[in-house]
Chain A
Amino acid sequence: MKRNSLNLVLNAHMPFVRHPEYPRFLEEDWLFEAIGETYLPLLRMLRKLRDENVPFRLTLSISPTLCSMLADPVLQGRFTDFLHLHQELGEKEVKRCSEEEPECLEMAQFYLDQINTNLQEYFELYQCNILGGFLDLEESGHLELITTAATHTYLPLYSEYPSAINAQVELAVQSHVNHFKKRPKGFWLPECGYYPNLEEYLQKEEFEYFQLSAQSLILSEDKVQRGSYAPVSCPNGVHAFARDYHLTSLVWSNSEGYPADVDYREFYRDIGYDLPFDYIEPYIHSPNVRVFTGFKYYAITGNGNEKRFYDITKAQEKVIKHAKNFLYTVKEKGNKIGDLLDRDPFYTVAFDAELFGHWWFEGINWLETLFRLAADDKEIVFETGSDYLKRHPENQILQPAYSSWGDGGYSNVWANGSNVWAYKHIHKAIERMEELAIRFPDQSSLKQRFLNQAAREVLLAMSSDWPFIIHNGTNVTYATNRLKEHLGNFNLVYENMCKNAVNTEWLVKAEKRNILFPDIDYNVFNLDSERNRYNG
């Protein structure tokens, strides 16, 4: 009998968005929706499984920008405002549906209950910082928490800038240690973006492994021995796990994935658009900007506009069917390839965490069902990357190939006609940051703060989210403005430092606005100083 090991990896990430200067800010809702619809329900589900002694192992990457926002008292306060506002809407919806739209009442009540539970747990269980909830699950041996690049940078486009890659990796570790009090073993490569020798930076920070896109091993210059069914050891000893595209696409595919099932909830039909303006106005954004509210009552149904009301029981039946199908597919795959391997297969399936609950409403139920079914199945076991490396420390030595999980498998999503203009400025900012770190080493007081803020601004400009959003055509203006803001901020420091001056007014405001990485040391951009530090 084959033992099929599943390495389920979720990447929880949000770009750093924080605008307390406004009473409400549209893009801050990205975070609030993710907390309310993914992170809190995920924690709830995992705690329930633990309480019921259902075995499971899961790897979760929490990005440093997300950690910073989840731990920020300002955003914590604004999230509770968000919850209270939606609680009020939920109460109104329960009343409205019971009187006017009884078909929607069950779901309206469901949403209200979820908001009430979120509120209660957020305050009482987590004291407004859910990072503690994830840490608790790691300490009980159920989660493996890993990190990713400091601002979730798509790293291959910075391969010529070692100081910037080094800063992204070093600050990621620093952030993880600050929040979780231990060094992470795994590194989530943002967007699975890899270029050969990137692992040198990971080795320096003592990472054991990272994940890759599906095609990275087969496209190597070397002959891969076990396909994607076992990790490889890069020549420097850091391990790489390739994502199984076949299994991943069962979930993450717009044409074949489970979330596209007609009985699942339709994401895009939301009362934010469907109900009269007078009714919905307090819960959307001013001035008169309709947005998704999270109250959605329809099933996907089909491609047209005629939608059936969502039936929670029917959807739950599909969840069970899809979880069974996933495990069946894994076992069938194991039977097919098992004899071709000299050890039991290991499958890495990796997703954005926010797919579950937020985009795919039933996704967290699906995960729960998966873990429950697997608990009674001797052929399936959930393991993390480091679990596997304990069992199999020796693996084929192979240099993976340049790759990403983006469209086309390389860098085209993050460098195309819409967004490639940014690199001229970001690369220049990195060069100038290196120059500042070399010209003004080990400063103290105001100059140190000024230079530290410059380093923050460069790192924020490097975030993969801005080119991604510009490419996807969603919040293009916001992403463009953010890029220009961080680069403009950096240029201000550079020009001031060239005149040996510090703009204190700007500094105080910038430190308040972009508060992440409180322990940043701009000297990280001086690789010589870094080497000296490491050498003793």
Chain B
Amino acid sequence: MCLSPLLGQPFIDGVGLMIAPNIEAMSLGELRYLAFKQGLTKAYSWEREELIDALIELYEELDIEISEGGDSYSTSAQHRYMNSLIEHFSEDTYANLPGIEDLPDNYPETKINLLFKDPYWAHAYWNICPADIQKLDQAYEKYSLFLRVQIHRTKDGKLDAESFEIEIDKCDTSWNVNLIERGRQYSISLNYRDKEGNSGMLSQSEQIETPKCYWNDNLDELNDEKTFTLLFSSLVTKGGQLVESPMLREIVERLDQQIGGSK
């Protein structure tokens, strides 16, 4: 085995990782082929249960989630672009055009970006220009880096901001940031601090805004059955499963608590 530089996961030379829709639903032929391709060379002499156990064990070792039950038709994951049960990556990976180099680890600009992922999380990533690192190294015998998350809000008609800090290592390049409040603007800055406690800012991101939902502040209106039906009848499956949305789930849970509390 060797370590895939792309995935950080082991794979057998010349073959790929299994893309298993449902291991229990596979035929003996499929299981033997998959197991053999994963490097289990005795696969063709094994029986079904042995193959399943071996594959499960292998994928547990690799920390890959596989399906062992449920129906084999899985559309909630929106399967697309799949014409094989094995990811194949040797001969079919094509050559780059002439002159193409690997992507750089760093760009010659210092910049931090904040990507909104969902109402609760943002992803910050940054790049520190090698020249800036050199300047810091020369200026300070010892210094550390940290992120400052700023939360902007309007309070009593005035713009108010608070912030918190996240200590980072010099080798870090990204961080997932928890967004605590709804309806607020967030920004993040990349900073350094010397051993005397003096700090300076290297870069600041644009602001992102966490969404605010009308029903969060007007939950009582949802106690009206007609309003609730009108709004939620298009958001649940026939089995009563709510569309995936953490904010919506929060509203429903609060509503449940309210109804439970009033009983």
- The reply to whether B115 and A30 form a contact with Cβ atoms under 8 Å apart is no
For B56-88 the 0/1 string (1 means CB < 8 A from A) is 000000001000011111111111111111111
Q: Which residues of B contact A484 (CB under 8 A)?
A: 102-103
Q: Which residue of A lies closest to B32 (CB)?
A: A273
Bound-state Cα–Cα, A344 to B229, Å: 16
Whether A354 pairs with B80 at a CB distance below 8 angstroms is yes
A221 to B102, CA, bound (A): 44
Query: Which of B19, B107, B116, B234 has the most chain A CB atoms inside 10 A of its CB?
Result: B234
Minimum Cβ distance to chain A for residue B74 (Å):
4
Q: For chain B, which range describes its interface: under 10, 10 to 19, 20 to 34, or 35 or more residues? A: 35 or more
Stretch at the interface among B146-154, B195-203, B210-218: B210-218
Chain B residues within an 8 Å CB radius of A491: 100-101, 103-104
Specify which chain B residues have a CB less than 8 angstroms from the CB of A85 in the assembled complex.
none
Tell whether A536 is near chain B: CB-to-CB under 8 Å: no
A273 to B243, CA, bound (A): 36
B248 to chain A, nearest CB (A): 5
Is A15 in contact with B81, judged by CB distance below 8 angstroms?
yes
A305–B234 touching, CB < 8 Å:
no
By beta carbon, the residue of chain B nearest A481 is: B93
Q: How does the 8 Å CB contact mask read for A470-497 relative to B, with 1 for contact and 0 for none?
A: 0011111110110011011101100000
Q: Are A246 and B238 in contact (CB under 8 A)?
A: yes
List A residues 118-161 near B (Cβ within 8 Å): 156-157, 159-160
Stretch at the interface among B117-125, B131-139, B254-262: B117-125
Minimal beta-carbon separation of A162 from chain B (angstroms): 12
B119 to nearest A CB, angstroms?
A: 7
Q: Which residues of A contact B72 (CB under 8 A)?
A: 266-268, 300, 303
Q: Determine the distance from Cα of A513 to Cα of B96 in the docked complex, in whole angstroms.
A: 11
Bound complex: CA A141 to CA B7 (Å) = 49
**Contact status of A244 and B84, CB under 8 A, knowing A267-B72, A359-B75, A409-B246:** no
Residues B84 and A219 in contact, CB atoms below 8 Å apart: no
Q: Are A420 and B125 in contact (CB under 8 A)?
A: yes
Using CB atoms, name the residue of chain A closest to B221.
Answer: A223
User: Which bucket holds chain A's interface residue count?
Assistant: 35 or more
- Among candidates B6, B19, B75, B103, residue contacting A473 with C-beta atoms closer than 8 Å: B19
A74 at the interface (CB under 8 A from B): no
Q: Which residues of A contact B94 (CB under 8 A)?
A: 19, 21-22, 25, 481
Chain A residues whose C-beta falls within 8 Å of the C-beta of B6 in the assembled complex: 476-477, 480
9-residue interface stretch from A103-111, A232-240, A255-263, A378-386: A255-263
What secondary structure prevails in chain B residues at the interface with A?
loop
Are B91 and A218 in touch, CB under 8 angstroms? no
A411 contacts the other chain (CB 8 A): yes
Contact A219 B248 (CB under 8 A): yes
Q: Is B161 an interface residue (CB 8 A)?
A: no
Does A181 make an interface contact (CB < 8 A)?
Answer: no
Which chain A residues (261-298) contact chain B, with CB distance < 8 Å? 264, 266-269, 273-274, 285-287, 289-292
Q: Which of chain B's residues have a CB closer than 8 A to the CB of A392?
A: none
State which of B25, B104, B230 has its C-beta within 8 Å of the C-beta of A340.
B230
Which residues of B are found within 8 Å of A415, using beta-carbon distances?
115, 117, 123
**Contact between chains at A478 and B117 (CB < 8 Å):** no
- Cβ of B172 under 8 Å from chain A: no
- State A252–B78 Cα separation when bound (angstroms): 9
Apart from A226-B230, A249-B237, what are 7 other A-B pairs with CB-CB below 8 Å?
A: A223-B214, A269-B25, A333-B233, A409-B244, A474-B87, A489-B100, A513-B97
Top 7 nearest A-B pairs (CB, nearest first) are A477-B89, A410-B118, A409-B245, A488-B100, A228-B234, A249-B237, A245-B243
Residue ranges of A at the interface with B (Cβ–Cβ < 8 Å): 14-15, 19, 21-22, 25-27, 29-30, 33, 156-157, 159-160, 195, 213-215, 218-224, 226-229, 242, 244-247, 249-250, 252-257, 259-260, 264, 266-269, 273-274, 285-287, 289-292, 300, 303-305, 307, 329, 333, 336-337, 340-341, 347, 352, 354-355, 359-360, 401-403, 406-412, 415, 420-421, 423-425, 427-428, 465, 468-469, 472-478, 480-481, 484-485, 487-489, 491-492, 503, 505-506, 509-510, 513
Question: B interface vs A, CB < 8 Å?
Answer: 6-7, 16-17, 19, 21-22, 24-30, 33, 48, 64, 69-89, 91-94, 96-104, 107, 113, 115-119, 123, 125, 127, 173-174, 183, 206, 211-215, 218, 221, 226, 229-239, 241, 243-248
A-B contact pairs, 5 of them (CB 8 A): A221-B183, A407-B77, A484-B103, A487-B103, A492-B99
